[in-house]
Structures are given as structure tokens and as C-alpha cells.
Amino acid sequence: MNKGFVAINYITCEADYASRFEDLFRTRARAIDRMPGFRFMSVLKPQKEGEPYLVVSHWDSEDHFKAWTNSPEFLEGHKRGFEDVRRAKESGQKPPMVSVFKTYEVITD
Amino acid sequence: MNKGFVAINYITCEADYASRFEDLFRTRARAIDRMPGFRFMSVLKPQKEGEPYLVVSHWDSEDHFKAWTNSPEFLEGHKRGFEDVRRAKESGQKPPMVSVFKTYEVITD
């Protein structure tokens, strides 16, 4: 039985980017909320310094998630963050955040 | 504003223990569900082999979570898993699972 699908983005921020990072999510576009099969998401701040933030999104299925990553809503939702990374790159600076992406099957609630 | 608290147990299983591990959660005692301040939980199976399972629990606050870890419900909920680990230890075997515990503040949904 399909209990759902979860994608987690593990994002490590430079220390001086953390407050900007949190602001981006607190004022997020909510473009993802319009996607078919989207259930909910949580943005988690680690209590221990130096650990990554977790952006956890819950979906009805992997296909729904994949459709989102190929949608205009994906670009809209990541616009400001992608722009920050692009700007750092262009000026030869270290990227302000680095993310690692992992996917999961929900086995139970 | 307090948006909630999340605890994640990152559990790496021995390959031959994985199906038992999943069964334990699929038939879990649901003792945690009775705790004040408990919101919901998700048990996540990694799509990539060798990655840890994630047991994610959402709480109203860190205090609610801490009260659970000191409760009889905590022992009740972990009884079978703790017993498996104890038995392996007693017979000089490698523990069937190893867990790392991390805690988070919810910054937004």
C-alpha cells in the first residue's frame, strides 16, 4: 500500500547566510502548495550548530514529486535562492548554501 | 512564535534486520500517540540502499518531547526494539541497528 513519498533537501548554509535563508522560507512563494499530490512541508532548523537545515516535503507519490521538479512552480519557488547562488558564483565567491537531496518511501505514520 | 518541535532518529539497520525493523514500526504500539503535545510521526525508508531510516516525530514543544522520553510510554513503545538490541549484545553480536538522534525547531510549514 502506498503511504506516500517524502523528499528531504539537507541544506548547509554559510553562517552569515542563515538569517537570509530562514527569511526566504518564512516568506516562501507557496508555489509548491498548488501542485497536485502535494500534502505538506516542514522547514526544520537544527538545534545543534553546523548541522544542515531540512526541507521536508510530503507527496502522494514519487510521480507527483517529479512533476513538481519539472514545473514552472519549481522555478518560481526557488527563484530568490537560485539567484543568491548564481550571484555568488558570478563574483567568484563560495556558494552561500549547499544542498544534498534524498528521497524516501513512507512506511508508516 | 513557536511553530513546533521535531525529533528525528536516524537509524541504520543491518541488512538482515531491515524487514524486522519495518515490521516493528508497521505494528507499533502507538503508545506515543497518547502523549500530550504529540502531533504526528512518519517512518521514512530511504530509496537509496545503505542510507538510514528516519523516524520523524512532531511535537508542540521540546518540553512535550522530553516528557515523552521520560515516560512509561517511551519504554512501552520501544520494548521490542530494545529487546532485540539487548539480545544481540548478550550473545556478543553486532547490534542490529544503530541510531543517531537529532532535534529541530520548525521554522515554517
Check whether A1 has a pLDDT greater than 70: no
- Per-residue pLDDT, A29: 87
ipTM of this complex:
0.92
Q: Is the pTM of this model over 0.90?
A: yes
| Pick among A22, A57, A103, A108 to test the B interface (most B CBs inside 10 A) | A108
pLDDT band of B1, cuts 50, 70, 90: low
**pLDDT, tens digit, for every residue of B60-97?**
999 999 999 999 999 999 999 999 999 999 999 999 99
Does A37 have pLDDT greater than 70? yes
- Tell me how far apart the alpha carbons of residues B73 and B34 are, in angstroms, rounded to a whole number: 8
Which domains does chain B carry? 5-105 (3.30.70.100)
Find the chain A residues whose C-beta atoms sit closer than 8 A to any C-beta of B.
6, 8, 22, 25-26, 28, 40-48, 51, 54, 56, 58, 102-109
| A104 strand-pairing partners | A6, B46
Which of helix, strand or coil describes residue A63?
A: helix
CB A5 within 8 A of CB B46: no
Q: Which one of A26, A28, A106 has the shortest CB-CB distance to B42?
A: A106
Is there a contact between B28 and A108 if contact means CB atoms under 8 Å apart? yes
